[in-house]
């Protein structure tokens, strides 16, 4: 069975229609229809999103058909819905998509991003320009570019959070 067939089996085994699975993943129903079609490509992000959206789903089963389908079968009381969590906190669809994209990155890239953010908040200067994103790039290519960008970061000037706040306040006051 192909990965496309396993996705369809997974959906039907949970009693979901394509629209429901699409809402779990933040894609369209036609997107689900496409990935369930034999021979269609299934992106790395889709695989990661499925594993995040469906508690206990075995990624090895999804990718290669290696049993079992579920590593841990979840019960209704242990199910966590990121979508519901964001909604309860009045989050936007964009915020939901950002979180899904973030957690579809490798652990190494997420750690590098956190380290970069920490350095910004602890005083390291941010890069003044980043290369433009190419919408045709794969996640792997983007991760590689991000690693290269991070390797070029070095703390060069210390500034405190209060300086940053003061600069932002001044800018806002002079604009308003």
**In the chain, where does DSSP find H-type helix?**
3-13, 18-25, 29-36, 44-53, 59-64, 82-88, 93-103, 107-121, 139-151, 161-175
In this structure, are residues 7 and 50 in contact, taking their beta carbons and an 8 Å threshold? Answer: yes
Query: Structurally, what CATH architecture does the domain formed by 3-79 represent?
Result: Orthogonal Bundle (1.10)
Structure tokens at 66: 């290696």
Instruction: Supply the pTM of this predicted model.
Output: 0.44
CA distance 155 to 121: 12
Q: Round to whole Å and give the CA distance between 6 and 77.
A: 26
* pLDDT beyond 90 at 40: yes
Give the pLDDT confidence score for residue 104 in this predicted structure. Answer: 84
Q: 78 or 55: whose pLDDT is higher?
A: 55
Region 43-66 average pLDDT: 92
Name the residue ranges covered by the structural domains of the chain: 3-79, 105-127+135-175
Q: How far is CA 132 from the centre of its chain?
A: 20
Structure confidence by residue, pLDDT tens digits, 94-121? 888 888 888 888 888 888 888 888 887 7
Where do we find the tokens 């075995």? 58
pLDDT attached to residue 107: 82
């Amino acid at each position: 069975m192909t990965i496309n067939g396993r996705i369809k089996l997974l959906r039907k085994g949970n009693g979901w229609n394509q629209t429901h699975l699409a809402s779990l993943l933040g894609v369209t129903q036609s997107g689900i229809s496409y990935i369930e079609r034999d021979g269609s490509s299934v992106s790395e992000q889709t695989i990661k999103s499925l594993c995040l959206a469906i508690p206990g789903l075995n990624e090895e089963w999804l990718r290669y058909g290696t049993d079992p389908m579920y590593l841990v079968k979840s019960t209704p009381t242990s199910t966590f819905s990121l979508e519901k969590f964001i909604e309860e906190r009045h989050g936007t669809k964009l915020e939901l998509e950002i979180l899904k994209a973030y957690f579809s990155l490798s652990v190494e890239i997420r750690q590098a991003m956190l380290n970069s953010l920490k350095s910004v908040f602890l005083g390291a200067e941010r890069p003044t320009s980043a290369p433009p994103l190419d919408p045709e790039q794969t996640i792997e290519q983007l991760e590689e570019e991000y690693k290269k960008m991070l390797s070029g970061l070095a703390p060069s000037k210390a500034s405190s959070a209060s300086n940053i706040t003061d600069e932002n306040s001044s800018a806002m006051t002079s604009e308003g």
